[in-house]
């Protein structure tokens, strides 16, 4: 019976349902790269690469942070500190995820055959950054921002500035909502000597930074659109992203984090899927 529980434990370990945050933006990069619909071959292997990469990233994060998670009441019941999975289990899971990622990468444009170590290095470095710098949120954003950039490169073998603008938009979007997420552990992080913008600049500083990052997200989506041959539906998508981000910020405020789960999990999933659907409609 214990063996049958492993798939559920691994699914919770990496929170597969949160793939919805980054995967739609990889599709955005793919569709905008060709100005239409990419081939089924490319879309399938981009999907496999993204799911495997995210699984690897989350597995490494949980493995490296197991000790910190065990000392935090909010995370002490995660699979590693709770003993539901062992470090060997998670290490093997990471190895398999890396292997699947590499298989997918080598089905795509030769350019990404050379670039794959960059996101993997980012995955390894990220968990350590919170131990010494409050810039960790931006690193996380930059790693996730590689999704549209990598998809663009995987199809066309090029990375024009518009792809970087999309990547920057995703990077600031992720960094902004990671600031909200970090507020859940503000006091624990202070007690453990960990770094975050909230620890360094306080709760209000985290809110100000999140607003600035999300304004940057909209600005970079506008910049990318100006450089591409997009239609009105793309611009409606940008407007929807701006409106949803504004609504997300209305859900939480300093001293009132009761709706943080809605702001973080629900709204960010809606934002990524909604923008992709507008890009899809515009491309087709």
Tokens 């199809």 — which residue? 155
Spatial contact of 262 and 250, defined as CB atoms under 8 Å apart: no
Q: Give the whole-angstrom CA distance, residue 192 versus residue 180.
A: 19
- Of 109, 121, 116, 111, nearest to 45 (Cα)? 109
Torsion of CA 272, 278, 280, 284, to 10 degrees: 180
Domain that holds residue 18: 9-283
Spatial contact of 228 and 235, defined as CB atoms under 8 Å apart: no
* Residue 68 three-state SS: helix
Spatial contact of 196 and 134, defined as CB atoms under 8 Å apart: yes
- Asked if residue 104 belongs to a domain, the reply is yes
- Asked if residue 3 belongs to a domain, the reply is no
- Asked if residue 27 belongs to a domain, the reply is yes
Domain at 86, CATH number: 1.10.357.140
Q: In the prediction, which pLDDT does 266 show? A: 78
- Of 220, 177, 120, nearest to 112 (Cα)? 120
Spatial contact of 13 and 62, defined as CB atoms under 8 Å apart: yes
Tokens read off for 108 = 């795509």
What total number of domains does the chain contain?
Answer: 1
- Asked if residue 1 belongs to a domain, the reply is no
Tokens read off for 88 = 């060997």
Please provide residue 158's backbone torsions phi and psi, each rounded to the nearest 5 degrees.
-135, 160
Report the predicted TM-score, pTM, of the whole model to 2 decimal places: 0.93
- Asked if residue 4 belongs to a domain, the reply is no
For each of the chain's 284 residues, which pLDDT tens digit applies? 344 567 777 877 777 666 677 899 999 999 999 999 999 999 999 999 999 999 999 999 999 999 999 999 989 999 999 998 999 999 999 999 999 999 999 999 999 999 999 999 999 999 999 999 999 999 999 999 999 999 999 999 999 999 999 999 999 999 999 998 899 899 999 999 999 999 999 999 999 999 999 999 999 999 999 999 999 999 999 999 999 999 989 888 888 777 777 666 778 889 999 999 999 999 98
Cα-to-chain-centroid distance, residue 37:
23
Spatial contact of 274 and 240, defined as CB atoms under 8 Å apart: yes
Q: In the prediction, which pLDDT does 2 show? A: 47
């Amino acid at each position: 019976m214990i063996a049958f529980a492993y798939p559920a434990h691994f699914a919770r370990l990496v929170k597969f349902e949160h793939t919805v945050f980054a995967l739609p933006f990889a599709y955005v990069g793919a569709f905008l790269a060709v100005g239409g619909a990419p081939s089924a071959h490319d879309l399938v292997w981009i999907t496999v690469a993204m799911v495997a990469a995210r699984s690897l990233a989350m597995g490494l994060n949980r493995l490296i942070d197991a000790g910190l998670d065990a000392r935090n009441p909010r995370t002490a019941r995660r699979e590693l500190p709770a003993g539901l999975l062992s470090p060997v289990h998670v290490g093997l899971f990471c190895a398999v995820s890396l292997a699947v990622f590499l298989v997918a990468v080598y089905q795509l444009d030769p350019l990404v055959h050379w670039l794959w170590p960059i996101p993997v290095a980012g995955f390894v470095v990220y968990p350590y950054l919170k131990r010494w710098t409050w810039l960790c949120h931006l690193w996380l954003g930059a790693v996730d921002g590689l999704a549209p950039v990598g998809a663009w490169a995987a199809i066309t073998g090029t990375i024009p500035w518009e792809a970087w603008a999309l990547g920057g938009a995703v990077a600031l979007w992720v960094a902004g909502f990671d600031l909200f997420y970090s507020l859940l552990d503000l006091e624990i992080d202070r007690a453990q000597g960990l770094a975050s913008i909230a620890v360094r600049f306080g709760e209000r500083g985290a809110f100000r930074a999140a607003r600035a990052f999300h304004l940057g997200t909209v600005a970079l989506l506008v910049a990318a659109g100006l450089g591409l041959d997009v239609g009105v539906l793309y611009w409606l998508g940008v407007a929807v992203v701006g409106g949803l981000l504004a609504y997300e910020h209305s859900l939480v405020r300093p001293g009132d984090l009761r709706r943080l789960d809605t702001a973080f999990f629900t709204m960010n999933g809606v934002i990524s899927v909604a923008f992709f659907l507008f890009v899809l409609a515009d491309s087709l």
